[in-house]
Structure formats: C-alpha cells, structure tokens
C-alpha cells in the first residue's frame, strides 16, 4: 500500500518537473524569437532564423500541452495547467498566422504578451 502512494507521489513530481521544463523551454523560445526579430531587421539571415524559431516555438507550445496532460493524468489533479497550455498553443497558432500574413501591428504586441504570460506562468510554477 505504501509503495503505491510513493509511486503516485513520484509520478506527480516527475510530471510537475517535466511541466516546468516544457514551460521554461517555451519561455526561452519566445524570448529567442524576439532576438531573431531584431536580427530580421538588421541582417540577411534574420528571416531564416525567425522562421526556424517560429517552428521551434510552436513545437515548444505543443510540448507544454503534452506535459500538462501528463502531469495531470497520474494524480487526477487540476486541469488548470492543461487550459493554460492550450491557451498558449492557441496564441501561438494566431501568432504564426499573423506572421505569415505579415501583420506586424498585431504580431509584435502579441509576441510581447505571450512572453510576459509565459514568464509569469514559469515564475508561478
């Protein structure tokens, strides 16, 4: 009986660690997108870096959703992290569409908002 409680506690802790790592990766990739946006304006290779970074950032957002689901599933805790991660994925989707459509008047402020929200979520975790 004690072994099962320990296993559930360890699974919850491992899921929480994976969730923090995924959130940190997402925050870092959003920050790097800001750096590559600056390079986009000043160098010839900035557009390539920003395009690659967009794909990596989107993947990090998907990883955050996966980590939130895996952190929730073993212990059956709150689904709040899943909703937060899904919201970030939705914002990332909008961000990609706005970037492809070349709408910087919304794309840039949304990127700043996403970085701020991701940083707040990371600090709270």
Structural domain boundaries enclosing 92: 2-124
Q: Is 0.85 topped by the overall pTM?
A: no
Q: Into how many domains does the chain fold?
A: 1
pLDDT tier at 15 (50, 70, 90 boundaries)? low
What's the mean pLDDT when you consider all of the chain?
89
pLDDT tier at 6 (50, 70, 90 boundaries)? very low
Position 85 scores a pLDDT of 96
Report CA 57 to chain centroid distance, whole Å: 7
Among 67-71, 77-81, 88-92, 121-125, whose mean pLDDT is lowest?
77-81
């Amino acid at each position: 009986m004690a072994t099962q409680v320990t296993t559930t506690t360890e699974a919850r802790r491992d899921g929480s660690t994976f969730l923090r790592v995924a959130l940190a990766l997402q925050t870092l990739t959003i920050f790097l997108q800001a750096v590559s946006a600056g390079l986009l304006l000043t160098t010839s290779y900035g557009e390539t870096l920003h395009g690659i970074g967009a794909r990596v950032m989107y993947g990090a957002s998907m990883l955050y959703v996966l980590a939130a689901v895996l952190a929730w599933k073993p212990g059956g805790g709150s689904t709040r992290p899943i909703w937060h991660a899904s919201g970030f994925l939705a914002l990332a989707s909008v961000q990609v569409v706005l970037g492809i459509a070349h709408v910087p008047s919304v794309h840039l402020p949304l990127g700043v908002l996403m970085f701020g929200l991701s940083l707040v979520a990371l600090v709270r975790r």
